Amino acid sequence: MKRWLATTIWLLGAGTAAASPGAAPTPLTLAARDAFAFTSFSDVDPDWATDDWDWVDRWPTAESDDKKSVALAMTASAILPGLGEQYIGRGDRAKIFFVAEAVIWTAFAYYRIEGNLRQDRAIEFARTHGQASTQGDADYYEHIGQWLSLDEWHEIVRRDARLRFPDDPDAQARFFEENKKYDESRFWEWADDEVRTDYRVLRSRFEKSYRNSRLVAGAALVNRLVSVVHVMTLTRRQNRALDEQRARLDFRIGARETIDGLAIGPVLTKRY
């Protein structure tokens, strides 16, 4: 545990002692007794003067917990922005990051819910106006917005097969089976391009909502990075300030009552 370390220097001939009857201590004797005391004389409560060294053990030491762990502060901020600032005692800064984090995740939840609702609306539109299958996956509902019907899509695949293998019907058939994607159970057919375009607009809306949610999630990462760098800087600055404060030199005229009398003299105090 760190303590106040006071190095007491008595100038030759400067110390005086008012000794009790029958004792006459010299300044050098008092200086030797106090050479490695843990505080300056002016800081000692006279009520503690019952013993020359008893007050040393009872003197309050500097709090070792004042300095904070940089690694712990950074880890806390990485988990929850603002938590590291709260740990080092900067509640004012912590509130800023807490509020930012709450806003970010509120926005994330909003965009995800909005995206889900818009996606459900688009799928329902496809089933109602495009006779789309109820068993389709995400790729299916994206693909049906590109072609008017399943038959049109299959004809495009067959045409591509004929271009690739003009003289090989078997190869054409294999190519078709490998690339047709959907069978008749995934049928769809739009009335016209206008209806299909309306469906694509609905899809673009829920895709935009999901895209916004991803951007907000990225903002959460940025908020953590900023908080980590910020708390690292603050913690190092606070720890450095504490070190500088504890390393201060004090010079004063000190006095302390001892069992041998009253000692007075210049005191140089070094704080570590």
**Are the CB atoms for 68 and 241 separated by under 8 Å?**
no
The stretch 147-158 carries a mean pLDDT of: 93
pLDDT given at position 96: 95
Mean residue pLDDT of the chain comes to 78
pLDDT category at 15 given cuts 50, 70, 90 is very low
**Long-range contacts of range 131-139, CB-CB < 8 Å, 24 or more positions apart?**
131/187, 131/188, 131/189, 132/188, 133/185, 133/186, 133/187, 133/188, 135/185, 135/186, 136/186
* Nearest-10 crossing angle of helices 169-179, 150-164: 140
Strands 261-270 and 249-258: antiparallel
pLDDT given at position 37: 46
pLDDT given at position 92: 93
pLDDT given at position 136: 82
pLDDT given at position 258: 62
Give per-residue pLDDT as tens, 75-86.
Answer: 999 999 999 999
pLDDT given at position 244: 80
pLDDT given at position 259: 64
pLDDT given at position 44: 47
Q: For residue 256, count other CB atoms closer than 10 A to its CB.
A: 25
Which of 31-45, 101-115, 154-168, 213-227 is predicted least confidently?
31-45
Give per-residue pLDDT as tens, 202-221.
Answer: 999 999 999 999 999 999 99
Give per-residue pLDDT as tens, 164-194.
Answer: 999 899 999 999 999 998 888 889 999 999 9
DSSP states along 69-117: -HHHHHHHHHHSTTHHHHHTT-HHHHHHHHHHHHHHHHHHHHHHHHHHH
Give per-residue pLDDT as tens, 231-267.
Answer: 999 999 999 988 887 766 565 666 666 666 666 666 6
Chain centroid to Cα 78, Å, comes to 3
The stretch 25-53 carries a mean pLDDT of: 47
Q: How far apart are CA 139 and CA 249, in angstroms?
A: 74
pLDDT category at 29 given cuts 50, 70, 90 is very low
Which tokens is 109 given? 């939840």
Domain ranges of the chain: 16-65+245-270
pLDDT given at position 41: 44
Q: How far apart are CA 208 and CA 204, in angstroms?
A: 6
Query: What does residue 175 show for φ and ψ, rounded to 5 degrees?
Result: -60, -40
pLDDT given at position 204: 95
In the beta sheet, which residues pair with residue 266? 253
